[in-house]
Amino acid sequence: MVRSKHRYNYPLETNNPTNLREQRMTTHKIGFVFYKAGIDGKLLDNGISAWTKFLAVVRFDFKSLPYDYAHVEWWDIEKDECISSTMRDGEGGVRAAPAATVFRHPDRWEGIIIEVGNRRYTQMRKAAIGELGKKYDKLGLFTGFFLLAPYLQNDKERYCSDFCMWLAWMGCLIWKRFWVISPRRMAKILAMTFGKPRPLTEILEENI
């Protein structure tokens, strides 16, 4: 598994053996939650759905086809907070919002819940907070559509699946950095390791 050398790769305090044991034993639940396309008729959602489906066929990536998603959020379950990059609700980049606000229509979402250790959680949380305020990467999204990234895509701006997949990489949940990534393809890649996305309504009923 790839260990990131990114500047957000903060070491944790390990001088105290008791603290080290606690860090290893403590676990946190996080989620990557995907918005189902074709529900509310938004042009951007439908466009992302149609184009990523086309790209999946062109790439012979047929395993991506069932994952028809238009947006993805990183869910810090412990803090009941979502972080992602979005142009919805007047936002124009990476923002944090209460999960209750983001998931006000839980039947429109499906998620993958992952249990991580304290070190990975701390690293992902710090990385996510460090991205707040970055603008929405419209150019990166557009170039990704035409397979030009990573030539024009960069880390100065973010779109949703770029941010979330980068965060998964920062937490060592995936084996490499993916530059050209859509919510559809991201769901497929994570499902290979952590299982398929489940309805958010079911997840919430489990009182996680």
Q: Give the list of residues 6+ apart from residue 69 with CB closer than 8 angstroms, or none.
A: 34, 35, 36, 37, 49, 110, 183, 184, 187
Taking Cα atoms as reference points, which of 119, 155, 167, 165 lies closest to residue 10? 119
In a domain, 117, yes or no: yes
pLDDT of residue 71: 92
Q: Give the list of residues 6+ apart from residue 60 with CB closer than 8 angstroms, or none.
A: none
Is 171's pLDDT higher than 50? yes
Which residue did the predictor score with more confidence, 18 or 100? Answer: 100
Look up the pTM and report it.
0.82
Q: What is the mean pLDDT of the chain?
A: 81
Using only C-alpha atoms, the chain has a radius of gyration, in whole angstroms, of: 17
In a domain, 69, yes or no: yes
In a domain, 10, yes or no: no
What is the domain range of residue 120?
Answer: 27-205
According to DSSP, the residues that pair with 36 across neighbouring strands are 69
Q: What is the CATH number of the domain that holds 49?
A: 3.90.1720
Distance CA 139, CA 162 (A): 12
pLDDT of residue 17: 42
In a domain, 7, yes or no: no
Distance CA 80, CA 108 (A): 18
In a domain, 45, yes or no: yes
Number of domains in the chain: 1
User: Using one digit for the tens of pLDDT, what is the confidence trace for 115-127?
Assistant: 999 999 999 999 9
In a domain, 66, yes or no: yes
In a domain, 160, yes or no: yes
In a domain, 13, yes or no: no
pLDDT of residue 15: 40
Q: Which ranges in the chain belong to alpha helices (H)?
A: 17-25, 43-58, 99-102, 118-131, 138-145, 160-170, 183-194, 200-205
Distance CA 137, CA 140 (A): 5
Mean pLDDT highest for which of 9-13, 129-133, 134-138?
Answer: 129-133
pLDDT of residue 185: 92
Per mean pLDDT, which range of 14-28, 49-63, 187-201 is the poorest? 14-28
pLDDT-based confidence at residue 1 (cuts at 50, 70, 90)? very low
